[in-house]
């Protein structure tokens, strides 16, 4: 009788550990899936940037510093290891600011603003920025869920020995970096 009680208790503990472990695995996979969503949107933006730079360059060739900065940051962003969320967030934040400056430069050129190609690029960029924000929110929610599980008792008793770690949030460092580039079209312009 005592043997059955001990067996049942051990079986219950093992079953509980399995349930917690599977929950942690699911949370970790959600973080990876969410990061993949961000990565896809950042890749879409990175693919759009050369077209935007070339379009602006045709009208504003003397704005080389801004154009070179956008190109350099795009290259840096593509070279950051995918799993380095904090570094990627920092570089992408700088890239967003540089693209915002590029769009501000473009505002000074009425012929450029009237260009159908430029307007399409602006619309695409605006759509991609919205998708990036949505993907960031999803990723940060998945990271929060994993982090809560990793830190909470009793799942922390399972998380530590099995090597589960907290996920970094995809954040920007300063309020100025949080500003999304404003992409506006003035039909009168």
Reported as a single tens digit per residue, the pLDDT across 46-67 is 888 888 888 887 776 667 777 8
Q: Which residues contact 153 (CB under 8 A, 6 or more apart)?
A: none
**Least confident residue range of 36-40, 48-52, 109-113:** 109-113
- Confidence band, pLDDT 50/70/90 cuts, at residue 177: very low
Query: How crowded is residue 152: how many other Cβ atoms within 10 Å of its Cβ?
Result: 12
What is the rounded distance in angstroms from the CA atom of residue 114 to the CA atom of residue 120? 11
- Confidence band, pLDDT 50/70/90 cuts, at residue 157: very high
pTM over 0.95: no
CA atoms within 13 A on the CB side of 46: 20
Q: Which domains does the chain have, with CATH numbers?
A: 17-178 (1.20.1440.20)
Q: Which residue carries 């050129």 as its tokens?
A: 109
Cβ contact 26:120 at 8 Å: no
Which pLDDT does position 186 carry in this prediction?
Answer: 46
């Amino acid at each position: 009788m005592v043997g059955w009680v001990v067996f049942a208790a051990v079986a219950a503990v093992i079953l509980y550990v399995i349930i917690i472990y599977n929950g942690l695995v699911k949370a970790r996979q959600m973080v990876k899936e969410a990061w993949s969503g961000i990565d896809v949107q950042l890749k879409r933006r990175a693919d759009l940037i050369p077209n935007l730079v070339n379009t602006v360059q045709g009208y504003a060739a003397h704005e080389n510093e801004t154009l070179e900065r956008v190109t350099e940051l795009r290259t840096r962003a593509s070279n950051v290891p995918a799993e380095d969320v904090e570094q990627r967030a920092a570089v992408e934040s700088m890239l967003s600011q540089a693209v915002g400056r590029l769009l501000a430069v473009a505002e000074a050129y009425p012929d450029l603003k009237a260009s159908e190609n430029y307007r399409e690029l602006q619309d695409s960029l605006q759509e991609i920025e919205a998708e990036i924000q949505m993907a960031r929110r999803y990723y940060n929610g998945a990271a929060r869920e994993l982090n809560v599980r990793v830190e909470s008792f009793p799942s922390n008793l399972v998380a530590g020995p099995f090597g589960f770690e907290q996920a970094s949030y995809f954040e920007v460092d300063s309020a100025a970096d949080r500003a999304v580039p404003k992409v506006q079209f003035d039909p009168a312009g």
